[in-house]
A = this chain, B = another copy of it.
Amino acid sequence: MTTEQRVRQAALELFAARGFHGTGIRDLAVSAGLSSATLYHYMGTKEDLLVAIMRESLTRLNRAAARIAETEDAQDRLAKLVALHVMTHAVQQLETRVVDNEMRALSPQPRKEILKLRDEYEAFWQQAIENGCAQRRFHTNAPGVARLALLEMCGGISRWYSPDGPLSLDDIVLHYIDMALGMLHAQPEPGQRVVNEVAGLIAEIWPQ
């Protein structure tokens, strides 16, 4: 791992655990194994570091969502979005926690950029829900409320998921798909096929 990656990783862990304002430059330095001065050889300001973390996370999410948006079948498409959101919020837990909680720490200019990326992502959900409603596969009078409720429900997993829990991530994802389709009064969806597909997509977009 390069030094820059170590800095990034340290920032990710500390921002997720203590928040942006709760993390000092010296904390970052200790965690990355550098002096606080050397830190500045690899990054700009502390805020630049935060923005870079958020930008990368949201950009990848959007890339994945754009691929999923090609799916024709309404249930499949929503199920894939749910799987993507739940799996990334579980596995890329630190990134998503930072994205979801530290938006307010951004100054106006970067905030605008990051908000645009987030809105772009939410639009994929809105389209998927409205598409399903138009096809009479989903039934809700308030697709906007449904979108917000779905996103909060699926994203919340980043607050509690642990790989050591009693259920496998696949099982959890299947439950979420079931609950999401239930929320929209849609026919249930077998699911495991969808989970496998999305897992492949994630492996492609979040390489290691």
A200 an interface residue at 8 Å Cβ cutoff?
Answer: no
A76, chain B: closest CB distance, angstroms: 19
Bound together, the chains give a CA A140 to CA B142 distance in angstroms of: 25
- A interface, over-half SS: helix
Q: In the assembly, how many copies of this chain are there?
A: 2
- Neighbouring B residues of A160 by C-beta, 8 Å: 148
What 0/1 pattern do residues 10 to 30 of A give for CB contact below 8 A with B?
000000011111100000000
A172 an interface residue at 8 Å Cβ cutoff?
Answer: yes
A148 touches B156 (CB 8 A): yes
A160, chain B: closest CB distance, angstroms: 6
Write the residues of chain A forming the contact surface with B, with a CB cutoff of 8 angstroms: 17-22, 101, 104-105, 140-142, 145-146, 148-153, 155-157, 159-160, 167, 171-172, 175-176, 179, 182-185
List 13 interface pairs A-B (beta carbons < 8 Å), by A numbering. Answer: A18-B104, A19-B105, A20-B22, A142-B172, A142-B175, A146-B179, A148-B156, A149-B156, A152-B153, A152-B155, A152-B159, A155-B156, A182-B183
A140 touches B175 (CB 8 A): yes
Please give me the residue from chain B that is nearest to A171 by CB atom. Answer: B142
- Neighbouring B residues of A176 by C-beta, 8 Å: 145, 149
- Neighbouring B residues of A141 by C-beta, 8 Å: 175
Bound together, the chains give a CA A22 to CA B23 distance in angstroms of: 11
Q: 10 tightest CB-CB pairs across the interface, nearest first?
A: A152-B156, A21-B21, A153-B153, A179-B183, A182-B182, A21-B22, A182-B183, A149-B153, A145-B175, A142-B175
